[in-house]
Chains A and B, each alone.
Chain A
Amino acid sequence: MGFTLTVAQNEFLPEAATEVHAIVTVTADDEPSSQNDELTEVIIVDVSTSMEGARLQAAREAAAAAIDQITDGANFAVIAGNHEATVVVPMSRSTVAMRESAKGIVARLHATGGTVIGSWLRKANELFSTSPGIHHALLLTDGKDEGEVHQALMGSIAACTGNFQCDCRGVGTDWIVVELKAIASALLGTVDIIPEPGDMPAEFARIIENAMAKSVGDVWLHLWTPKGSKLNYLKQVYPIEEELTTRGVNVSGLIAEYPTGAWAAGESRDYHLCLQVPPSRVGEERLGGRISISSRGTISQTTLVRAVWTDNDSLSARICPEVAHYTGQADLAAAIADGLDALQRGDRRTATVKLGAAVALATDVQNTQTLKLLQQVVEVDDFRTGTVRLKADITKADEMALETRRTVTVRVGGKGKEAR
């Protein structure tokens, strides 16, 4: 599968400026690849005691719905997780008969024991180690990680990094957002809240459908920067904000590669690149970087991030709309985090100011989904100025929805499908 890269930037810098910003859009070819990578899926379902009742019943149905979406020929397994990880459906190749038998097994799951998420991840890692191709896991929990220190969970995450991608879902409001965010972020996945158990089957089916659409695994952003330049940061900014700066692997002195996981045909993502270049004289032009996509040992077409120093202020003062747009959304995500933080500390005054700023930013960048979530916690008097009042009865679920989805972005002009 091929990739197309385009760059949006204002390449003109005033004298003495050394920071170059660019938004790089990477789009996978629409044509389905003639040679798709093999897919392996592991479904991890929380069966701790707290799941007992409606949640477990919904989880059984959700797991069955997920299994139904696994395409013929893909590999799959199911792990039941509590204080330990039990492989209830061993790794098998998907056929109609296999899926029916697996659904029979998950229908009989019962709840008992604690929640040690690290052990579930390690078990999944073990299962993936024997199968080739694209590795994807779906993790469901309703509680916080227990019975292991936080470092142990982080250690398990580190052991799995690069081996599989993991989408995490929390049901109810007793799970910890930062825990699932840590897992999803390191394992290039998404995290979201499922407030109502009844919504689980549809959500699971959607996640597996997405995972099955991936045709190329192990895709890397390939970045060359010149001698004397430095990468300030690299982040994915669409469909979800994700920091990539520290995940680079050096290929050579001037080239590093950053993991982006698996891609489906036609998929498109945006990256914000900020580079530090040496100061140069007016009239000089130099590259900030050459960017391409590396997958299956081949490098895609290369696109350039340029810097041209000029004494023409009307050129250097121009603001690149894409860069401004994503900078605004980064500010939006940060304002929400600050606002929720203040709310949890009981500082309603700061929370009002920060969430008000978030409303103004969300209005500005036309992120209607985030605006909708914000309106669950504040009454808006004026969208443009961000004049808001905190609601008296903010539910924990609304707070958690805002916390998990605050990094979900839209493209310029509010365009782009909502990605969750």
Chain B
Amino acid sequence: MNCPHDRCAGSVMSDGFCDTCGRRPTTSMRYMPAPDPVAAAAASPDPPCPSCGAARDLDALFCEACGFDFVNSKPPSMPVARPSSTDEVPMKGAEPPAAAAGAETVEREPVAAAAWEATVQSDASWYAKFCETWKSTHGAECPVAFPGELERVEPVEGPVVVIGRHATGIDLALDPNDAAVSHRHASLIRQPDGTYALTDLDSSNGTYIDDKPVAKGQTAMMSDGDSFTVGAFTRITLRLR
């Protein structure tokens, strides 16, 4: 079993701890001294998602299948209305998600048999901003080097696409290999209309749209041509095929 923790490439040993970072795969709620191994084995596995019934990790913040918010026990919040030229919805600016949810229902034309793809590229201008932020918050040079202009295209399909280093959806340990991306960094969740919504999975370095972070618990609707950045230099642009 691979260690599920961010930025750890270790694997979990038979004693229940990672062979690299030394952490337990799931560490919350383990307050009892020296847990009885027999009782631990008999204990039920992590409860499934209360919304869709999919299996979940105890330390996951959102359901990877339906986007259910485990922390606040609520279904995925309404997409944030984003200014976008291709959006038919009237401009509302960056309204708080709760207001958006209460005020109106975002109507969308179902995109019949929508096929999406993601362009993954190293973005020098985002890298420059990242380095600047890093220097001001850490007081040191950014440890990640820019790999040069790289680009690849990945299909975006299925109910959920996890983005991260060694992730099942868009693997950012592959070129452009971005060390500032978490193992489970962000995910794209398919909406009933066939489009995808972006959510950050409590990543270490955040997920940004137009240089603004996607806040914890928020989802952002993605339209054709929309892009976001993760890690030190990775820009991902979604396109309809």
Contacts and interface: CB of A to CB of B under 8 A. Distances in A.
B24 A285 contact: yes
Contacts of B27: 283-286
Given A228-B21, A283-B27, A286-B27, A11 B33 contact: yes
B28 interface: yes
A144 B236 CA distance: 75
Interface in A293-333: 302, 304, 308, 310, 312, 315
Interface in A224-245: 225-229
In which size bucket is the chain A interface? 20 to 34
B36 interface: no
B15 interface: yes
Contact of B30 (A277, A285, A289): A285
Nearest to B18: A226
B29 interface: yes
B15 A283 contact: no
A254 interface: yes
B30 A227 contact: no
Given A226-B18, A304-B15, A12 B33 contact: yes
Given A11-B33, A310-B31, A312-B31, A284 B23 contact: yes
Nearest to A308: B30
Interface in B13-44: 15, 17-18, 20-24, 27-31, 33
A165 to B, nearest CB: 33
Contacts of A225: 22
Contacts of A228: 21
A211 B45 CA distance: 54
A390 to B, nearest CB: 47
A290 interface: yes
A352 B24 CA distance: 51
Interface in A214-266: 225-229, 254
A289 to B, nearest CB: 8
Contacts of B20: 226-227, 254
B28 A304 contact: no
B221 to A, nearest CB: 31
Scoring B20, B22, B24, B27 by chain A CB atoms within 10 A of each residue's CB, the highest score goes to B22
A315 B33 CA distance: 9
Contacts of B10: 227
Contacts of B24: 284-286
B7 to A, nearest CB: 10
A283 B28 contact: yes
Contacts of B30: 283, 285, 308
A328 B17 CA distance: 32
Contacts of B21: 226-228, 286
A288 interface: yes
A91 to B, nearest CB: 45
Contacts of B18: 226
A308 B31 contact: yes
Contact of B22 (A11, A287, A312, A315): A287
A107 B21 CA distance: 62
A142 B123 CA distance: 76
Given A227-B21, A229-B22, A290-B15, A284 B33 contact: no
Contacts of A286: 17, 21-24, 27
B15 A284 contact: no
Nearest to A225: B22
A308 B29 CA distance: 10
A167 B144 CA distance: 53
B17 A304 contact: yes
B17 A283 contact: no
A229 B30 CA distance: 21
A310 B15 CA distance: 21
A228 B20 CA distance: 9
Contacts of A310: 31
A226 B22 contact: yes
Interface centre among A229, A284, A289, A310 (most CB of B within 10 A): A284
A290 B16 CA distance: 12
Interface of A: 11-12, 225-229, 254, 277, 283-290, 302, 304, 308, 310, 312, 315
Interface of B: 8, 10, 15, 17-18, 20-24, 27-31, 33
11 contacts: A283-B30, A284-B28, A286-B24, A288-B22, A289-B22, A290-B17, A302-B15, A304-B17, A308-B30, A310-B31, A315-B31
Given A229-B22, A286-B27, 8 more contacts: A12-B33, A227-B10, A227-B20, A277-B22, A283-B29, A284-B23, A287-B23, A312-B31
